[in-house]
Every structure is written in structure tokens, then in C-alpha cells.
Structure 1
Amino acid sequence: MKALSLRMRLVLVILPPLLLVSVLLGWWRFEVAQRTSEELFDRSLLSAALAISRDVAISEGDALSPGTRRVISDAGGGELFYHVTGPGGIYVTGYAYPPRPETKVERDVPFYYVAQYRGEEMRVLRLIESRTIGNLSGETVVTVWQRVSERRAFARELALRAAALIAGLMTALALVIWFGVQIGLRPLNDLQDAIRKRSPDDLGPIRRAVPKEVSGIVSTLNRLFGQVQDSIETHQAFISDAAHQLRNPAAAVLALAETLPDVRDPAARTARHHELIKAARWSARLSEQLLSLERLRYDTGTAMSPLDLNRVVEETCRSFAPKALSGDLDFVMDTAPDPLVVAGNPVLLGEAVMNLLENALTHGGPDLRSIAVRTLPDGDKCVVLIEDDGEGIPEDQTDAAFRRFSQLRNGEGSGLGLAIVEQIVQRHGGTVRLDNGTGGLTVRLALPRL
């Protein structure tokens, strides 16, 4: 499903509330128009009633003056009907049979009501006053009425005019929002064009002036560009170092393989054959460590599950034992009596322990006589200790030992073992530490305990 454009999103966010407000405003304006028309028409009825009452009093019951008739026809906003009775209920002037009220009407107070007249709904005003017509004195009743439909038509016209005005304003506002948003988003379009024109090798920071609302996106992009640049540089350095490290074992395997057919002495041929196997194993181990290091850097979805650290260490030590015993070493394993449950990946943890054991065997020196592996609980940690009585590592070089391809002394090894161990332990939320005792080296690997 195609996502909406940012402009359309902004329009959809802004316009619906405005439309709702306009509907509410139109409804309110219609109600106001109704009340306004009622007030205007009631006032016109009152004006007509007062004019008629005045004319009746002045003319002593004769016909209404032309001015009063003109007021009745023009000022009423529609056709007006009237009826006047003098003292004693004597008919004076107007239409016959006016609409009657259902309740008693007070004197000298305009009384409004709604009634039926010839099948139509009428708004009626009845005004009772004390008057003297000729030689008669008494109450004069002036009744004026008007069609309710004309009032409603007038109110509807007012409401429609207001609705047309609101609709026009909403249309103009929608156009202003549509084009205004487009103009407001122009810096984003310019930024998009600038990024599109960049070459794939240009990962420098964006230095364009952008609105404050976009500065966060630009700063995030700049940070991302920096991270990508660092990752590329690190990857390129790794490839360069890996190519350099693989060149030596590959050259050694090739040289031994090329010279092997020329060796005629059986003893020398056997020795050269063992050297070839050793070089091939070294090359394979280096390739495996390089792949493990890259997998740890980029594979962040490693499955973690509860496991017994004792079991992982035991299986790893069983795999390593033949190699240690073939070197005439004392190899001891002592695991904790109770399970040491941690959250981890058994393959990665086994590889970390194996790297530590091979490091001890490879870099222990000629005086190496024993390697001991122990597991024990330590508060909320599960600890693996790997101790040897070899040459150890000077304290001022422990940090360098964890760097990739770092070799403190010339000899065998790739310089990747401790780097891989550190990344595996960090992936499991643990720590690894090198301790130099009275002799040899102790590696302390600690993982969070479940």
C-alpha cells in the first residue's frame, strides 16, 4: 500500500478539524438566524400593531391611513393581516375572524402566540388598550398576524448566506493550506535533491541550512553517515588486515605443497608432510577465526537461551583434551557442583572457551606445564577461570592483547583469539579480564547468572 505524501498528511490533519468547526459554526449560525428572524418579525408585528392602534384612535375608526398601510406592507417582511375591534367588541377594520388565543391576554402588554388561520400556521400579536372612539370608551383589541413559513424562509435565507460564506472561506483556506504546505515543504524537496545528487562515496555531513523542524532529521542523517563511514573504514581495515594475515599461511601451504614431491628421503618426506598439515590447519583456523569475528560484528540476532555453563565448559574441554595431552601437559577441569545457568548461545560460548585454551597452549611458551579450567559461582555472576603456568602477559600490555591481529611476541597465532573472546562475552553481557599471578596467566570470564 502506497503511503500518503507528507503534504496530503498535513492537509488531512488540518482540514477535518476545520470542517468540523465550520459545521458547528453553520449550525450555530442557523440557530442565530432563527432567533434573529423571530425578533425582527415580532418587532415588525409590534410596529404594525402600534401604527394601526394609533390610526384607529386618530381616525376614530375610519380606514387606515396610506402611510400606515405602506408600513404594514413594506416593514413586515411579508404579508401582514390585521383585525381591530373597538369598545364592546365592535368591529372597526381589518380582516374578519382573527386567530384566537388559547389563554387570557393581559392589557397593555403585547401578547405573542402561534395559531392556525385558513389552514396555515401564523405568528400572532394581540394588543389590548383602553381607547375612546367617537363617544365610546373601552378596550380596543388590535390583532396582527403573519405566516410562519415566511419567517422560516427568511431565516433559511440568512443561514444559506452564512453557509455560502463559510464554504467559500473553507475552500479558500483549503487552497491556502494545500499550496502553503507545498511552499513550506520546499526546503525538504531541496534537501532531497541535494542528497540525490550525492555520489555513493560522499558520506560527509549535510551542511545545508534547513528549518528547525528538519534539523533533527539532518543531524540524525549526519550521525548515520558518520556511523556508515566508520563501519566502511573498519571493514576495509579488517579486509586489509585479513588479506595480510592470510597471505603467510597460504604462502606456507603452497611452498610446502610445491616442495613435497621433490623430497625423496622418507623421514624428511614425513616431516614435510606433517609441516604441510600443520600449515593447513593454521590457515584453516585463521580463516575460521576471521569468519567468527565478522559474524560477531554483523550477526546481532544470535539466539539466547538458558543453559548450564558447566556443560558447555565440559564439552569444550573434552574436545581440547587430546591436543593438550599430546603436548605432555597437565590438563585439569574442575566444574562447580551446582548448575551455573546463564542466558547464552552454547556454540559461541564454547568457541570463546576454546580460544582461551588454544591461546594458553600457543602462547604459554616453552615453560608451559599445566592448564587448569574451573567454573564457580560469584554472587550474581558465573565465572570461568582458565589458568596456566606459562609466560603470561605484562600488565601494561593487557589492553593491546584484545586488539585484532595484535601479537605481543613473534610466533604462531593470528592475534584474533582474545578479540573474538571479548566480543562473545560482551554479546552475552559479561566481562573478560586478564590477571597475572606469581607465574603464568589467569583469564577470568564472568557472565550474568539467571
Structure 2
Amino acid sequence: MSPRQKVLIVDDEPDIRELLEITLGRMKLDTFSARNLGEAQALLSRETFDLCLTDMRLPDGTGLELVQHIQQRHPNVPVAMITAYGSLETAINALKAGAFDFLTKPVDLTRLRELVSSALRLPAPGGTGIAIDRRLLGDSLPMRALRKHIDKLARSQAPVYISGESGSGKELVARLIHEQGPRANQPFIPVNCGAIPSELMESEFFGHRKGSFSGAIEDKPGLFQAAHGGTLFLDEVADLPLAMQVKLLRAIQEKAVRGVGEQQETVVDVRILCATHKDLDAEVAAERFRQDLYYRLNVIELRVPPLRERRDDIESLASHVLKRLAISTGQPAAKLHPQALDALKSYRFPGNVRELENVLERAHTLCENKQIEASDLRLAEGNCNPEGGVPDLTQIDNLEDYLENVERNLILQALEETRWNRTAAAQRLNLSFRSMRYRLKKLGLD
């Protein structure tokens, strides 16, 4: 018979301690109680715990101090903070300090049981490294740091804002955070916020009742309900209109949603991860993104480095892509000529890993005798100077052709980042839509 798991309860109120002890006892867990910070630290030095539940306010200190103590001396022990109702700033500070999650008083017992069950399913720290290595390729310093952050964030329920350029792998990072955490066996629901028509957003996120609007021919659960118990990944969250941002903020704060046409709210247990290639700070400053939602989503920021910041990984990434192409086509893997590899390493890759995959897929198709030459890559000359300085004039045969090529690649990048929304791409390039149409036609991109 396996030993029962142990939980440390830290609270100076006897009624709260008793409530938690009874509830956890019914979950077949052993509990130890402390009335203050000193007693808690003493128990931690003598016993090995699987979870700690602590009040924020203690007679001789704060729950944040206990979180920091456990992070430094007992990093295997997840900590959940119990805060007064409405103390959202306190809860966010606890999450930033390393707390697993938080509860508000009065304690909801259903929510308590869900939190405890989730925390006790956590894998051991560092035990997920091999799985992450297989999915997130590269041995450069930025990638080693990224893997460590993923491993740590997987052990938390804090909302994470994943920043990074288009094509850098933000959704893969979100999936890894989900798959290495206690919600791994529950749904991972990715949603592209920029791809949902504004008039359908509320229904898509929260669901609707049959007959609640024209076309609602049956009851439909929303994305929050589909992600219940798991993770909801909001990609391109900066593209949400302001009206939807208000409703999303309430759903996150209340942990409940109300579908279109519904009278009652539905409680949802969802971890929120979000991403965008835009600068959210700039979006907030321009009043296109709500500051209160920004602070709720950006509890912890995780930056995914662009490919140009980890050029040492290009060779291993290219080898992986070519092997995958060989398997999919049933042909021998093509080899990169040393000059082709040098060309890849000197290229800026505005489209990041996704662009590298596209370049190699094209070269794999066009090359002769399974040998990829530099000319097979067809890299845009305007992005072939890794230092970002003035291009070498000896490499430019015709200035007009060179500038046209640069213009074409910038427009293609904007179109790809906006999923070929021409209006949005024009705005990104600070062009009028009429000017954008003219350039598309001139460059043969219409």
C-alpha cells in the first residue's frame, strides 16, 4: 500500500484550518497544520510535503515569504495561496513569486478539491526534459533557457503570455507547457483570435442556446467549455476587439461563462495561455488593448527567441526538416552543400522556423542529385546580411530589381503575419489600401 500524500496547511484561523483538514482528510490525504510562518518553516525542515496551502496574512509574516522560502529550499513542493476575496493583485504577486495557484476566501470546496488534485498530479521538476528536447530542437543558449522556463511554468497554473515573432514556435511552446503539466490528460484548445468574425466571437468563446440568434439551430458549447479541466491557448490575442476583451476579462476573473441566450453561468476550470507577435505594451499604450486584461494575462511573460538569435541551431533544424521531408516523400534525404548551410546561417529569416521549413521544402523539390546548393535556396537578398548593415554593393547587379525584391519580401511577410488579410497587412506597412493594391499588382502578388 502506497503512503498517503501529505499537505501542509498554514493559517492562523482555527475554523479555516479545520475546514481544510476535514476536506483533505476525505480525499485520503494526511494534513499537518501551522499557525504562522515560523511553525510552517519548522515543519518543512522536518517533513516532506506534496503540497502547501497557505494564507496570505500570517501573524509573523506573509504567505509570499513562505512561497519564496519554499521556492529556495523545497522547490519540489507546490504552494497554493489563499487570499481575501477581491485581492487579485495579491494573487498575481503570489503567482509571479512561484505559487502554483490561488484560492479566494470564502473557500469554494469544489474549487479546492480541483486545485489539490491538480497540484498532486505534478511531475517531478526536470523530469520532462527529454520530452521537451525531442519537440523543441536546438542546443543554443536561448533554447536551453527556454526549455528550463517551460519546465518551470508547467508546474504552475499562472497565466502565461508567450511573446515572439510570427513563425517562431509560440504554439509549440504553449503545447509543451500544457503537456508537461498536471493538465496533460485534459484538452488543449488553441484558438486564433484574429480568425473569428467579431459578430461570432461571444458564441465561439462561451457557447449559445438553440434559437438565441439567427442560425443557432442547436445548443453549442463554447471554447471555454471545451477546454474545461485543460488549457485554452489564445493565439493572436491582440486581435480581439475591445468589446470582447471586456467579456474575456470577466470570464477569467470569475472562472465562469454565460453562453448567448443562457440565464445561468457555467463554472469553468481553464488555464489560460496567450500569444501574439504584436507588442502588447504598445497596444495598451495605443488603447487598442485593455490594461486590466493585459495585467491579468501577462502574469508571467515567456519570450520565444527568433531564429536569427540562435543561428547555431540552424544546422540541426535543417537536418531535422530534411529527414522529415525524406520520410514524407519516400525518397533519400537531401544533403546541404556547405555553401548552402553558410547561406542559411547568414540569412535573417523574418519568417523564422516556419520560413526555414518552407525554404528547405522548396529546395528539396528543386535540387539535383539530392544535393542542395546555395542557389536552390532562393533566399531574398535583402535579408542576407545578418548584421543588418548596408548591403555589399558588389552583390547588387540592378538596384531596381534589388529594391523590388526587398519590397516583395516585406509585403509577403506582412501578408503572412496577417494571414493574407490585405487590409491588416496594409495597416502594418503604413500604406493605404489603394497603395497596397497597386503594389500587389505591380509585384504580381494579386
CA radius of gyration, larger in: 1
Identify the structure with the greater strand proportion.
Answer: 1
TM-score class, shorter: under 0.3
Higher relative contact order (CA 8 A, sep 6+): 2
TM-score (structure 1 length as normaliser): 0.18
TM-score (structure 2 length as normaliser): 0.18
Identify the structure with the greater helix proportion.
Answer: 1
